[in-house]
A and B are shown apart, each in its own frame.
Chain A
Amino acid sequence: MTARQRKAFRMALPWLSALGLFVLWEFVCVVFQVPESILATPTATLKALVQYREAIWLNAGQTLFTTLVGFGLAVLFGLALGVAIGAAPLLYRALGPLLIGFNAIPKVALVPILVMWFGIGTVPAIITAFLISFFPIAVNVAAGIATLEPELQDVLRSLGARKRDILWKVGLPRALPYFFASLKVAISLAFVGSVIAETVAANNGIGHLMLVASSSFRTPLLFAGLVVIAVLGIIMYAAAVVMERRLAHWATRGTDGGLHGGG
């Protein structure tokens, strides 16, 4: 294989594996004659995607909207919280256990409370997406700031640097790759949050659509919903990767050199 062919093959690999999965799925359904009401075939799912495209389009838009708003809030809040607890060890000490406890609560258990406060619909979905996704952002940013090499701190302190200087010149840039790494996790979680809320308490959104499909035994539509969520998730993840490459290229390029510091 030439280098170009190898490259083309590498590019095609994820598509091939996806195709392989669908073929296997179809094959299993046909060979074992699985009833469509239990497991829809990919072809049936595809048909459902085409047949219900308008409803899917509308509801996917709603889900994408709540996810992105919740995720945006999580980025702002997670970043602020991460910087605060990363830069102030006392604050970390004070809030650490609380945050860990909060993170352990399944967010689906909060949806009924949110419904009580805000009614069903868009707001609980946004808040659930937010609540589920800010934690990894905050933790990662804090870790990036707090794990600054002691030698580097000494260098800066012996120049008369103030805490704010150290945070600004070194802490924040250093936390950037941690931040982008966390975005990839957080955006996936945000989808989980909004869809969970939609399946429990909403009149629209992909989660709601699937609930309706389920109650009327339209299994292919149910699977179409899953596929839509997965595709949205992949697209947002890819967007996060592109941002990471653009803005923290120094962390992904060349693994040796200055990055190993700290010993």
Chain B
Amino acid sequence: MSEPFIRIEGADLTYGEEGGVLALQGIDLTMQEGEFLAVVGPSGCGKSTLLKLISGLRPPSAGSVTVAGQKVTGPLKIVGMAFQNPTLLPWRTALENVLLPLEVVEPHRRNFRADRRSYENKARQLLAKVGLTGFEDHYPWQLSGGMQQRVSLCRALIHEPALLMLDEPFGALDTFTREELWDALQALWLERRFTTLLVTHDLQEAAMLADRIIVISQRPGKIAAACEVNFPRPRSLDLRFSPDFNALLHEIRAKIDVARQVPLSLGAA
């Protein structure tokens, strides 16, 4: 087996000084290059914190994080990120929003002025892949929530990051839009195979998209359970109605309930 792309060993993460909020405790996790991992768990359990830990935005207070063979000591520069809130810049068009990373990341940054046209073409192609042809010159307020989220996804991918971090990106969308975006994301992932971490509270979404699902327990967050997802790809939306799929959902559900039992019974006492 090859050296994992991401290796977290015994990591804790505390917010604030010592005695602050212990958000993650004793995290051990490895991910292979190109793997798609979904992270589920109750709200406030530390899912977003796990993404910050891996991307180097927050240092561990104990343990270590290694990505691509390098110990993480500061923000990684190979990451694309998208959140529930699309956080597009309202003074930029969809196309200009997608171009933002190229104005910042080396080596594109250096070439940006000279190669602007080819970068723009690249951005247009990416927007086309998520179904936004014709909306390149629209401003964010002229786009629906689902379209904004597509633009946000393109912005996260335009610089071809090795690592994609998605923090409940489809959480605010209606069911149909969300399912369309699952398809779009899966197609992009099948094409490029970036290593992906997807935080979600939707078990269907996790099982639909991921190779593996981990469950994080109530704070302090620990990895309470893990579950392989072995459905062949590309996965169609019909998969949701198959018995295997529902059996898997039940299995995860049961693991989450077990993970929640300890804090819940404490709370009841």
Residues of A within 8 A of B (CB): 149, 151-152, 154-161, 165, 169-170, 173-174, 176, 248, 250-251, 253-259, 261-263
Contact = CB atoms under 8 A, between A and B. Distances in A.
Nearest to A148: B87
A261 B100 contact: no
Contacts of A259: 90, 141
Contacts of B106: 160
Contacts of B103: 169
A164 B188 CA distance: 32
B89 A165 contact: no
Given A258-B86, A258-B87, 5 more contacts: A154-B52, A155-B83, A155-B156, A173-B91, A257-B90
A254 B75 contact: no
Given A173-B89, A261-B87, A160 B141 contact: no
Given A169-B100, A257-B148, A157 B75 contact: yes
* CB-CB nearest 3 A-B residue pairs: A257-B141, A254-B141, A160-B77
B79 A158 contact: yes
Interface in B73-124: 75-77, 79-81, 83, 85-91, 100-101, 103-106
Interface in B130-179: 139-143, 148, 155-156, 159, 165, 167
Contacts of B101: 159
A255 B91 CA distance: 13
Contacts of A165: 104
A160 B55 CA distance: 11
A154 B56 CA distance: 10
A154 B104 contact: no
B100 A257 contact: no
B75, B87, B89, B156 pick with most chain A CB within 10 angstroms? B87
A151 B87 contact: yes
B79 A159 contact: yes
Contacts of B143: 257
B29 interface: no
Given A169-B103, A254-B139, A257-B148, A159 B77 contact: yes
A152, A165, A255 pick with most chain B CB within 10 angstroms? A152
Contacts of A160: 75, 77, 104-106
Interface of B: 52, 55-57, 75-77, 79-81, 83, 85-91, 100-101, 103-106, 139-143, 148, 155-156, 159, 165, 167
A151 B90 contact: no
B142 A254 contact: yes
B81 A155 contact: yes
B104 A250 contact: no
B81 A158 contact: yes
A261 B90 CA distance: 10
Contacts of B90: 250-251, 257-259
Contact of A158 (B75, B100, B142, B148): B75
Contacts of A258: 86-90, 139-141, 148
A251 B139 CA distance: 11
B139 A250 contact: yes
Nearest to A263: B85
A161 B88 CA distance: 16
B91 A250 contact: yes
A169 B89 CA distance: 10
A165 B112 CA distance: 14
B139 A156 contact: no
A256 B85 CA distance: 13
A171 B225 CA distance: 41
Nearest to B79: A158
A256 B90 CA distance: 10
Contacts of A261: 85, 87
A174, A258, A262, A263 pick with most chain B CB within 10 angstroms? A258
A253 B142 CA distance: 10
A94 to B, nearest CB: 22
